[in-house]
Amino acid sequence: MENRNFKGLAEDIVATIREPLVILDDDLRVIFANSSFFSTFKVSPEETLGRFIFELGNRQWDIPELKHLLRETILKGTPFEDFLVKHDFERIGRKAMVLNARPIKRKGERLILLAIEDITERYTAEERFRRLYKVLYLINAVHRLISPHKEKVEFLQEVCRTFTGTKDFSGAQVYLFEDKGERLRSVARSGSEEAFESTKEVIPQLLERVVEERRPIIIEGMEGRPSGVFLEEKKEKRLFSIGAFPLFVEGPLGVFIFITEVANAFREEEKEYLRGVTEDIALALDLIEAERRLEESKRRYQAIFEGAPDIMGIIDREGRILALNRRIEEELGWKVEELLGKDLRDVKVLTEQSVQVAHSHLMHLLNEGVIPPPFEIECMRKDGTVVPYEVNAFPLNYGGEASEIQFIMRNISLRKEAEEAIRTSKERLKEVLFGATKALIEIIEERDPYTRGHSEGVARLAVAIGQRMGLSHEEITGLYIAGLLHDVGKVAIPLEILVKPGKLEEKETALIREHPTLGYEVLKEIDFPWPVALVALQHHERLDGSGYPKGLKGKEITLEARIIAVADVLDAMSHHRPYRPARKMEEVIDELRKGRGRLYDEKVVDICLDLLRESPDLLGETKSQGN
């Protein structure tokens, strides 16, 4: 009686406990369950009592390891604690339960008291914390891997191994664009072959979608093939989820693929963290590529620097020489090593005056940010010979401030010699021209009998036009001198070209077209009170810019040159030349009319045509007057 009362009391106590409790016999059948068990799992005593525990519900307890532990408890009296079961229960959904078992002996019977604790909320919170901790760990790990000095594939392979090393990811794979962004290629991956095999069919479409939509794409619950050893030959289906995240900076770089067996691994919160990780990976790839381009640029610059035909170098704000190419050894005999680190003002490469000139220009560039025009200095070879150089200098900006200067020094010895030769030649020519304008014209016309009287004729026509335009006496005098000397540059043209019959070759035509410039170079040295040199330079320019040598237009051409241009065409066309006969007056007039306002000044042409109407023999008169 007392035992029965104690048993009843025990059952009453068990019944009032809030956690689900069951008692199993030695066959692992349920012989008792408290009310909390029935309410928690929403089952009735009829579908519970007397049944094997592994047959309950949707066989949620049919777990090989749990079977093993329960049998050990029956056979050896070994208790167990905190056995975790995560399952989608038939009537209450997905739950996390912790099982604790204790052996019970009753009148020779071996029983098991099985206590079940619902830890779903705690487990969910812990799991969420664990997942977020893992993601934060991954972010930190990826940041530690970032280095601009790594190769892309090396970096990505390390990142993939980092993800799969957490055991939360069965696979990680990176695809990058190649062929100018037209094709994706797998460059790094880590993980189980089963994971990749189970997802390979969806990868191409997934990649296409991610690139097109530029957002993460998630596919949940892809069924994998069974693998591994399972207790009691139970074959479990493995479900994989796959997440594809774009790698994008200013443009698409590629796609990062994550494969996991963890349920709901890509919740919104985790997805945002993973998006942040992949953004960092993309930035790291961009950094690595920028470093690669920088290194490549450095190599190219070094090749240009060392292979340059001129002396190149760099100095800092204090004037210290930071870099020099080997060209200085070839040209001046100074070894690079004996100049590096020295102050520009202390080395003996520059003459004393040139040191001051160079230092002034370079410091002005650094302090004011104004790039100086090319300037000349004198350098000394190691043997003491002085050599002229032209210097170009440019600031090197680091972080927006010019802290260093790159300079290029070009040997201009040959140019100086040429300039001296030209200067000497001009002096000789100027001496000939001074006070001998008439004599020079006679020399020109003696050389070219076909143009005899041409300069005089142009001068007189120009005077007639100028008078009709109302120019002053002084201006008309200058116009007359300019007309006489407009073709003075032809002195430098070989006679055989000037008198050559037939069409000139291209080189010969080019040489003929140099005579305005040659004439200008000569006449600009003479201190005329009129724009004689400019007229010589511009008399073949045309209003529409089709003339030479500079292609000037409209008012860019001086009035005197516009007058001489019309007079020159009129006289030249109406007289015989070796390469063509004289044109008829109707043809000459037609040419002027066609070019009026387009090639020639309108007012000048109109006055010229008026003069011809008033005096049909105007050209003959000027010619006879010239003779």
- pLDDT tens digits for 57-99? 888 888 889 889 999 988 888 999 999 888 888 888 888 889 9
Q: What pLDDT is attached to residue 489?
A: 85
DSSP letters spanning 260-299: E-STTTT-HHHHHHHHHHHHHHHHHHHHHHHHHHHHHHHH
> What does the pLDDT read at residue 624?
39
pLDDT of residue 9: 56
DSSP state of 181: T
The CATH code for residues 14-118 is: 3.30.450.20
Homologous superfamily of 124-292:
GAF domain (3.30.450.40)
Most confident option among 144-153, 267-276, 370-379: 370-379
Point out the least confidently predicted range of 132-141, 146-155, 249-258. Answer: 132-141
Cis peptide before 549 (omega within 30 of 0): yes
| Mean pLDDT value across residues 174-181 | 79
Confidence of residue 11 (pLDDT cuts 50, 70, 90): low
| Calpha distance 36→116 (Å, rounded) | 10
- 244 touches 207 (CB < 8 A): yes
Q: Tell me how far the alpha carbon of residue 71 is from its chain's centroid.
A: 70
pTM metric for this prediction? 0.43
Compute the distance between CA of residue 166 and CA of residue 463 in angstroms, rounded to an integer: 100
- Work out the mean pLDDT of the chain and round it to a whole number: 81
Q: For 361, phi and psi rounded to 5 degrees?
A: -65, -45
Strands (E), 135-251: 171-178, 183-191, 217-224, 238-248
Rounded Cα distance between 29 and 234, Å, is 21
Tell the CATH topology of 310-411: Beta-Lactamase (3.30.450)
pLDDT band, very low/low/confident/very high, at 198 (cuts 50, 70, 90): confident
> If residue 152 lies in a helix (H) or strand (E), which one and from where to where?
helix 152-164
Residue with tokens 């996991």: 260
Query: pLDDT (tens digit, 9 = 90+) per residue, 283-324?
Result: 888 888 888 887 777 777 777 777 788 888 888 888 888 888
Q: Which class does domain 433-626 fall in? A: mainly alpha
How far is 456 from 483, CA to CA, in rounded Å?
A: 7
Q: Is the pLDDT at 541 greater than 50, yes or no?
A: yes
User: In this predicted structure, what is the pLDDT of residue 497?
Assistant: 79
If you write DSSP's letter for every residue of 450-505 in order, what string do you get? GGTTHHHHHHHHHHHHHHHHT--HHHHHHHHHHHHHTTGGGGGS-HHHHT--SPPP
The confidence score (pLDDT) of residue 229 equals 31
For residues 124 and 452, which has the higher predicted lDDT (pLDDT)? 124
Q: Is the pLDDT of residue 621 over 60?
A: no
Hey, do 310-411 and 433-626 end up sharing a CATH topology, with the first three levels equal? no
User: Which pLDDT band holds residue 355 (cuts at 50, 70, 90)?
Assistant: confident
User: What angle separates helix 454-469 from helix 473-485, to the nearest 10 degrees?
Assistant: 160
Span 431-449, average pLDDT: 61
Check whether 231 has a pLDDT greater than 50: no
> Residue 400: its pLDDT value, please?
60
* Domain positions in the chain: 14-118, 124-292, 310-411, 433-626
Between CA 169 and CA 237 the distance in angstroms is 17
Contact 220, 266 (CB under 8 A): yes
Q: Token match 């440019």: residue?
A: 394
Q: Looking at residues 336-365, what average pLDDT do you find?
A: 86
